[in-house]
Amino acid sequence: MIGLDTNILVRYFAQDDPIQSPRANQIIEELTESSPGFISLVALAETVWVLERSYGLSSAEIANILRTLLQASSLVVQNEVQVYAAMIAVQAESAGFSDALIGELGIWAGCTSTLTFDRRAARLGSFQLA
């Protein structure tokens, strides 16, 4: 298994660099189920942030990217169950990915809720307004 950094994932999905994008494609396409790529939560959250902020991707586009990553047998996504639940929240436009993931990881860790000042995040069942 080999870890994949944010910049590999961004170049793969953005296809905006004439040198790095083809190399990212090659890296991703050479991964297999027996020799997969690992995507950490940090790399995933950074990737979503960059694609939203720098490339202007919509919630639906982000949800599709997350679904693609989760369905790839050649990728291992850290805490994939929590990432899937966060993806559903993004798809429903209930919250941003990072907020949804924070809430889901809190549940995974045994938290009764996650306190927040963010009213949008508080709409998720895993959060409570402080």
Short-list 43, 50, 58, 66, CA closest to 14: 50
Cβ neighbours around 119 below 10 Å, total: 9
Residue 48: is its pLDDT beyond 80? yes
In the chain, the largest separation of any two C-alpha atoms, in whole Å, equals: 47
Q: How far apart are alpha carbons 85 and 129 in whole angstroms?
A: 20
CA 57 to chain centre: 13
Confidence of residue 47 (pLDDT cuts 50, 70, 90): very high
Residue 93: is its pLDDT beyond 80? no
Residue 14: is its pLDDT beyond 80? yes
Strand-pairing partners, residue 114, are 127
Average pLDDT, the chain: 95
Residue 24: both structure tokens together:
């990212």
Place of tokens 């994008």: 21
Q: How far apart are alpha carbons 96 and 48 in whole angstroms?
A: 9
Predicted pLDDT at 95: 81
Residue 120: is its pLDDT beyond 90? no
What does pTM read for this prediction? Answer: 0.91
- Count how many Cα atoms sit within 13 Å of the Cα of residue 32 in the half-sphere of its side chain: 3
Which residues neighbour 26 within 8 Å (Cβ) at sequence distance 6 or greater? none
What is the rounded average pLDDT of the residues 53-77? Answer: 95
Percentage of residues in the chain having pLDDT higher than 90: 88
Q: Domain spans of the chain?
A: 1-73, 79-130
* Better-predicted residue by pLDDT, 54 or 125: 54
